[in-house]
Amino acid sequence: MDDNSTLFRPFDMGKLRLPNRITMAPMTRNLSPDNIPTEQTVEYYRRRAAGGVGLIITEGTCIDHVAASGYPGVPYFYGEERLAGWKKVVDAVHAEGGKIAPQLWHCGGMRRAGTPPEGDVDGYAPSGMCMPGKVNRHIMSQSDIRDVVQAFAKGTADAKAIGCDAVEIHGAHGYLIDQFFWAGTNVRDDEYGGSLANRSRFAIEIIEAAREAVGPDYPICLRWSQWKQQDYDARLVDTSEELEEFLLPLSEAGVDIFHCSTRRFWEPEFEGSNLNLAGWTRKITGKPTITVGSVGLSADFIPLPGEVNFREAEPASLDELVQRMEQEEFDLVAVGRALIANPDWSNKVRDNLSSELRPFKKEMLETLV
């Protein structure tokens, strides 16, 4: 299939207007010394905007909470110098005609005490667990929960203040919000634990506080997933009925776009339907959705045995992606490793130059280019 034009139709939901349907997926790079975006960071995102990406979702950037970070060298989204660094990124993306949303992140129980620069601060988790059954992290109090909710709201307000076009709240992949969602790591006996509705309360309070901080017209995206990095086979829900129970309160709280993280975008979510997770989410909520998962590549990202980096992969056909988008299964598509390998991926696909696309190699993660 040579006609990829459906990927390049404008997207307009009122709050957010994009020139095409291509988004850059958030990918942690660990290349921000002192947790400040550098000039290399600015150029990294600028090149993707110049290369035709409609919406850039940044790597995870930590909110203003003492235990938010779990990895060295990740950027933070608070403090005058750090926000000034992000403002340079925003301005560079806008100068190329792109739009940008920071992904606001709290690592929760994935943090280990000793991670710099906070040092001995322990990871925070709903029940003190990073992995089901292993209580070896700080168990969050009601006061801790309130502090984190307000930190997400502050990050959202700061995103709007420095000119970001939207914000994405990271509720996926076994990090803090997802640790509340997941029954395996949330065994609380208060209003934040037990039922799926109670386990969603923390996320709903974050979304409501963020919405209050920026008003009704600022786009808020929520990234969520069934799988966890602790357990790739984990699931929050097993049926479309459970999915509806999970999603509608989040939608009503103020989510505008759902970023539905899967390892392989083409896989059906439930038996009896070909819809993927983004397709089901769109059908249930009526809200725009982003699909993601090995787009344009021959293999998913899961590292091979003995390795820790994203898996290497060759360019692959977009035929099924285009067909699904033509059927309006989802609204936007997030591209990850292919955009690390090819800053101009979007323009090359638009211009039918896919034969010029480079494969993704793990050494590409060592620098920002």
> pLDDT for 208-244, tens place per residue?
999 999 999 999 999 999 999 999 999 999 999 999 9
Q: Where does the chain have alpha helices with state H? A: 39-50, 80-95, 142-161, 176-181, 196-199, 201-214, 240-253, 277-285, 319-326, 337-341, 345-350
Residues identified as active-site:
175
Alpha-carbon distances, residue 45 vs 63, 160, 261 (angstroms): 20, 18, 21
CA separation for the pair 70, 255 (Å, rounded): 26
Tokens of 161: 């203040």
Determine contact, residues 321/332, Cβ cutoff 8 Å.
Answer: no
List the CATH number of the domain containing 291: 3.20.20.70
Domain that holds residue 331: 5-366
Residue 354 has pLDDT above 50, yes or no: yes
- Look at strands 17-18 and 11-12 and give their pairing: antiparallel
Residue 311 has pLDDT above 90, yes or no: no
pLDDT one-digit tens code per residue, 7-25: 999 999 999 999 999 999 9
Averaged pLDDT of the chain: 96
pLDDT-derived band at 303 (thresholds 50, 70, 90) equals low
Tokens of 222: 């929520």
Averaged pLDDT for residues 286-310 = 82
Cis, peptide link before residue 117, omega less than 30° from 0: yes
pLDDT one-digit tens code per residue, 140-192: 999 999 999 999 999 999 999 999 999 999 999 999 999 999 999 999 999 99
DSSP 96-147: TT-EEEEEEE--GGG--TT-TTTTTPPPEESSSBSSTT-B-SEEPPHHHHHH
Residue 306 has pLDDT above 90, yes or no: no
pLDDT at 300: 77
The pairs formed by 131-136 with CB atoms below 8 angstroms and a separation of 24 or more are 131/184, 131/185, 131/230, 132/184, 132/185, 132/230, 132/231, 133/184
Residue 248 has pLDDT above 90, yes or no: yes
Residue 305 has pLDDT above 70, yes or no: no
pLDDT one-digit tens code per residue, 77-101: 999 999 999 999 999 999 999 999 9
Tokens of 201: 């309360």
The total of structural domains in the chain comes to: 1
Continuous segment of H or E residues that includes residue 171: strand 167-173
**73: Cα separation from own chain's centroid:** 18
pLDDT at 1: 46
